[in-house]
Amino acid sequence: MESAGYSDEKKMATQPLLGTTPTQKGGLRTMPFIIANEAFEKLASYGLIPNMIMYLMNEYDMDMPTGSNILFLWSAATNFMPVLGAVMADSSVGRFRMIGFGSIVSFLGMILLWLTTMIPQARPPSCDQSSYNCTSATPLQLILLCSSFGLMSIGAGGIRSSSLAFGADQLTKHENLKSCSALQSYFSWYYVTAASSVFIAMSCIVYIQDNVGWQVGFGVPAMLMFLSSVSFFLASPFYVKVKVKSSLVVGFFQVIVGSYKNRHFELSSQSSNVSYYHKKGSMLVVPSENLRFLNKACIIRDPQQDSSPDGRTSDRWICTVDQVEELKSLVKLIPLWSTGIMIAITISQNSFPVLQASSMDRHITSNFEIPAGSFGMFLVISLTLWIALYDRVILPLASKVMGKPAYLSPKQRMGIGLCFSVLSMVVTAIVERIRRAKAIEEGYSDNSHAVVNMSALWLVPQYFLSGLAEAFNGIGQNEFYFSELPGSMSSIATTLNGVGMSIANLLASAIMNTINDVTGRGGNESWVSSNINKAHFDYYYWVLAGLSLVNIFYFFVCNRTYGPCVGEGNKVWDEGDDEIRGDRST
């Protein structure tokens, strides 16, 4: 392994970035441009998210629930678009065109958002706080704002759906770089760069927005997105551009239609009485007995009429046994996948923590204070530190103490993450109760912009717990999907988390709307009112903690029903398994 790593490093050092001598496309020379594209996109997009609730409330005079709902919907679209992007990239347009399209559309969306800060007519006039005379945004102004969000979501879908796989194509299709170590190095640098970009966005860009203003604060992400597009297209002649193939989603549709068409066909308990269509040379020639109604999709009812001499079928709705088993494997893990939705709801609560931090003393020194939108970086720090400690310290130490390889299975990690999520919501509720009591005690019940005499560093524990929840559950989910789904479904495995986040954003919006409507009846102050000193966000977070606790019991039921996972127990991944995991990642 050391010689392989040294060989890859040597190739990286000697291979020119944009030289014309090598005739083969792809390789390490394309990596800086692909990684830079993703890094600049994350810098730009994540630099806009933390303070957006402040922009909507201060510049568009939106109340807390309305602004949060817009941001929930924006996040839902941003998380779901990569799914559509992956389907289109795999089945029609290809990964290069999808990333290029996404880069341009994201840049246009950020320019449009930037214009809302530059053109006074693009947003409502400033609100007169003394007379409470505020003008709501016009439909045209809201259309302009939401259009910028929509374009950024579409663009993110194009980039995030294909960037990782497109980079892997440059290595796996290059004759000299097919070793597993080269691919692992790429994945490591890709995720390190992505995490670093998010950290810089939450600290530096948010600081610019707070201290320089919205025009520069939104202009910087737009320029970064421009650099993202340029860096990607700069190396266009040197990319490996893999030809598109049929999408797995299309195959799933074929299985569903095929099984429905043959719904009246009675399956015999003796599989030898039925002919099944399978790929030539495939190990799967007979489907499994679970979800038997789907087996009807691969039945050859009339071998002489439905199949040709070369083994192919003339009926487009007859599927292979592999296609049927792929859909079954996806259906089987849906219950466990759904347990991750609740933790995604808790992590997607981005609006209130910013308002909460802005009402507290954020000074580190007498001259420097942490921006309210930058506290999310503690979540990133917590996640990164735990991953490093888990891989480099805790597992080796535990293995040494136990005298055998120690390893937490993906489902165990998922369950631990859910427990940390409950703790995070409990701590958030307790801290908010103390903060609200202090604000009332100091006479700020009617002044939501006042800063209470309480350090904002009290918010750090809840962010650290959320980071641990994401480190355990999020990474556990990804490993679970890749280990349980066939290697041919790696593109589906990479999008399942995004689909869950998208659904979680919609449910988070529904939960907030329900609580706002129920608690605000009869002229009462809503629990999620814009005046956080009169509202009861502590009650709101207790509700989320209760739902998260119920979700843990739901996880136990789904876990027991699912049964053991691939590699669960004391199995150690050997080199062959590692190569399989590498192939799945591409």
Region of poorest pLDDT, from 333-337, 339-343, 462-466, 576-580 = 576-580
Same domain as 205, residue 56: yes
Q: 1 in a domain, yes or no?
A: no
**Residue 523 is part of a domain; what is its CATH number?**
1.20.1250.20
- Give the separation between CA 484 and CA 350, rounded to whole angstroms: 32
The answer as to whether 553 is a domain residue is: yes
**Residue 153 falls inside a structural domain:** yes
More confident residue, 240 or 305: 240
Question: Are 186 and 306 part of one and the same domain?
Answer: no
Residue 544 within a domain:
yes
SS (H, E, C) 59-112: HCCCCHHHHHHHHHHHHHHHHHHHHHHHHHHHHHHCHHHHHHHHHHHHHHHHHH
**What beta strand segments (E) does 7-65 contain?**
none
> What's the pTM value of the predicted model, to 2 decimals?
0.82
Which of residues 245, 266, 301 is at a domain's end? 245
- The residue-averaged pLDDT of 358-380 equals 91
Let me know whether 407 and 456 are in one domain.
yes
pLDDT band for position 341 (cuts 50, 70, 90): very high
State whether 301 and 230 are in the same domain: no
pLDDT band for position 569 (cuts 50, 70, 90): very low
pLDDT value at 502 more than 70:
yes
Residue 464 lies in a domain: yes
Residue 188 pLDDT class (50, 70, 90 cuts): low
- pLDDT score of 159 more than 50: yes
- Give counts: helices (H), strands (E), the chain: 22, 0
Whether residues 484 and 365 share a domain: the answer is yes
- Looking at residue 390, what is its pLDDT? 83
Q: Is the pLDDT of residue 191 over 80?
A: no
Most confident of 70-74, 134-138, 255-259, 404-408: 70-74
410, 445: one domain: yes
d(CA 35, CA 102): 15
Residues 240 and 263 in one domain: no
Residue where a domain stops, chosen among 267, 287, 319 = 319
The b-or-e profile of 391-418 (16+ CB within 10 A means b, else e) is eeeeeeeeeeeeeeeebbbbbebbbbbb
Q: Read out DSSP for 328-370?
A: HHHHHHHHHHHTHHHHHHHHT--HHHHHHHHTSB-BSSSS-B-
Residue 192 structural domain: 24-245
3-state helix, strand, coil in the chain (%, to 5): 70, 0, 25
Is the pLDDT confidence value at 77 over 70? Answer: yes
Q: Does 68 reside within a domain?
A: yes
Residues 335 and 406 in one domain: yes
Question: In this structure, is residue 2 part of a structural domain?
Answer: no
- What letter represents residue 556's amino acid? F
- How many domains does the chain fold into? 3
Q: Are 156 and 78 part of one and the same domain?
A: yes
4 located within any domain: no
Both structure tokens of 351: 């609006």
pLDDT given at position 309: 54
Question: Residue 584's pLDDT band (boundaries 50, 70, 90)?
Answer: very low
pLDDT tens-digit map of 276-334? 777 776 667 788 878 888 888 888 776 655 555 555 666 667 888 888 888 888 899 99
Q: Which of 319, 345, 361 is the last residue of a domain?
A: 319
Q: Are residues 181 and 313 in the same domain?
A: no
Same domain, 357 and 255: no
Q: What pLDDT is attached to residue 25? A: 76
Average pLDDT over residues 550-562: 94
Is there a single domain that holds both residue 209 and residue 264? Answer: no
Q: Which of 91-95, 329-333, 483-487, 552-556 has the highest mean pLDDT?
A: 552-556
Q: Which of 100, 352, 116 is nearest to 215 (CA)?
A: 116
Report the chain's mean pLDDT, rounded to a whole number: 83
